[in-house]
Structure 1
Amino acid sequence: MPVPKDFASPIRMSAKERAFSLIQRWIIDGTLQPGEKLIDAELAESLGVSRTPIREAFQLLEVQGLVSTHPGKETKVTVIEKVDIFKLYSTMAVLQGLAAEMTAKLIVPEQLEQLRAINLDFANAISSGQAYLAMEIDEQFHNLIVELSDNPYVASFSASLQIHIRRYKYLFLKQPNTTTQASVEEHAAIIAAFEQKDSERAHVIMKQNFIRPMQDLHGLL
């Protein structure tokens, strides 16, 4: 079970939080492969903590569906199921489309500038090949739109789905620039729709922003 030796530890975190954050990232970026057995003693030694926070992190990761734990037996990274792509992305597309539709009616100029700045950072992360950073910035973009929609139910369900989508999104953002650049352009089109207070167009483009990666990923896996 290869574990990086030169990772940067998150600051001001408990041992459990640090273990959870790092193991989650290693699962998402493929350092820990689907189906791989996780050995708490090895992870504890690598992270410089006891086994207890590792086991607590496993419990949190299991809730997220990233690992499966069998008490007294073993913990493994869950396998990426191709069939789940349609279930996850189609559901998220509906939620995000609704958020965009609502945000188009409420957004103000300062918030439009925020979205433009985030999308610029997103484009830079993609062009420099920083897939994990691009994934995080893409989430910032969508999370801000959900926040501005002022609908706590959309926010709650989107946050839950986002956890499961991360592994697929990372795979997508590792694809060639020409594929991922379309996401930058769709973000720009969503911002333009917001600027025009065009709820219907914002809804349509936002859904496309999830449906297109869904189709690409299904062909990739």
Structure 2
Amino acid sequence: MKNQPIPRLSLSEEVYQRLQQQIITLTLAPGQKLNDQELAEAFGVSRTPVREALKKLEEEGLVVAKRGSRTNVTRLDATQARQTFPIVATLHALAARLALPLLKAADIEQLRDIHQAFQEAIMQDDAEAALRLDDAFHGLFLTRSQNGQLSETLNRLTPLIRRLEYAQFSRHGHDSMADHEAILAACEKRDAEALVRTTEQNWNGLGRHLVAALEEEETSCDQS
């Protein structure tokens, strides 16, 4: 059978991915105004793919369009984060449960290698590398779970909380190391209940810390 050519990303998809990454990593700050003409010039494209990308980002809750064609990066929202983290925790725990019977020794070894690199990134205060490795760690369970709906849902929800992790990395970047160790231990013992429990603990514990820090900042801003 003749292979079909692999399509290149459309311009709007490429612009979308770049803007999403800049929003998640806080390169584009919460509340920052986005001008489609300026973005088009920066990316070397017309305004149409930029507008299409901004529309998709608006549907994801990462930007908000206001009257008069003003578009701003969505501000960090403690309420949204408080609602999102338990869902993310539950879905990652389900992925881990589904994946465990399918994990091979090589998978567990790969998880340990990722965790080692994750620890090194944490110690070097490299937020971007640490969070990329955290994605890889939990992403292996998603891949082995063989459940596309789980991956699709988490891909939609994760950007909403990932910005908060970047914003608070210096205060809470070390929180996940012990949880990852517990997750690895549960995998090695093939203990499904412990794996589910520690995975939920990892995400819910992080959520509580990050939401509390954001609420503290919001209170401070309201009083100033």
Fold shared by both chains (TM-score > 0.5): yes
Shorter-chain TM range is 0.7 to 0.9
Post-superposition shift, 1:197? 0.5
1:102 and 1:199 in contact (8 A); partners too: no
Post-superposition shift, 1:155? 2.6
2:84 and 2:161 in contact (8 A); partners too: yes
Aligned to 1:7: none
Aligned to 1:40: 36
Aligned to 2:60: 64
Residue type of the partner of 2:75?
Answer: V
> 2:205 aligned with 1:205, yes or no?
no
Question: Which residue of the other structure, out of 196, 200, 204, is the alignment partner of 2:189?
Answer: 196
2: distance between equivalents of 1:101 and 1:25?
29
> 2:125 aligned with 1:132, yes or no?
no
2:81 and 2:160 in contact (8 A); partners too: no
Q: List per-residue Cα deviations over 1:159-183 (Å, max 9, x = no partner).
A: 22223222122224x224xx32231
Q: Which moved more, 1:142-151 or 1:106-115?
A: 142-151
Counterparts of 1:9-158 in structure 2, within 5 Å, are 14-70=10-66, 73-158=69-154
1:69 and 1:76 in contact (8 A); partners too: yes
1: distance between equivalents of 2:148 and 2:52?
29
| Runs of 5+ consecutive residues of structure 2 not aligned to the other structure | 1-7, 215-224
2:26 and 2:166 in contact (8 A); partners too: no
Aligned to 2:170: 175
1: distance between equivalents of 2:40 and 2:134?
31
Residue type of the partner of 2:170?
Answer: Q
1: distance between equivalents of 2:49 and 2:74?
20
1: distance between equivalents of 2:15 and 2:156?
20
Post-superposition shift, 1:82? 0.7
2: distance between equivalents of 1:93 and 1:140?
16
Post-superposition shift, 1:13? 5.2
2:23 and 2:62 in contact (8 A); partners too: yes
TM-score by structure 1 length? 0.84
SS of match in other structure, 1:26: helix
1:104 and 1:193 in contact (8 A); partners too: no
1:89 and 1:214 in contact (8 A); partners too: yes
2:125 and 2:170 in contact (8 A); partners too: no
1:190 and 1:206 in contact (8 A); partners too: yes
| Runs of 5+ consecutive residues of structure 1 not aligned to the other structure | 1-11
TM-score by structure 2 length? 0.83
SS of match in other structure, 1:214: helix
Q: List per-residue Cα deviations over 1:119-176 (Å, max 9, x = no partner).
A: 122222222222122222211111111221233333332222223222122224x224
Identical counterparts, % of pairs: 36
1: distance between equivalents of 2:81 and 2:59?
19
Post-superposition shift, 1:71? 7.2
* Alignment: residue pair count: 207
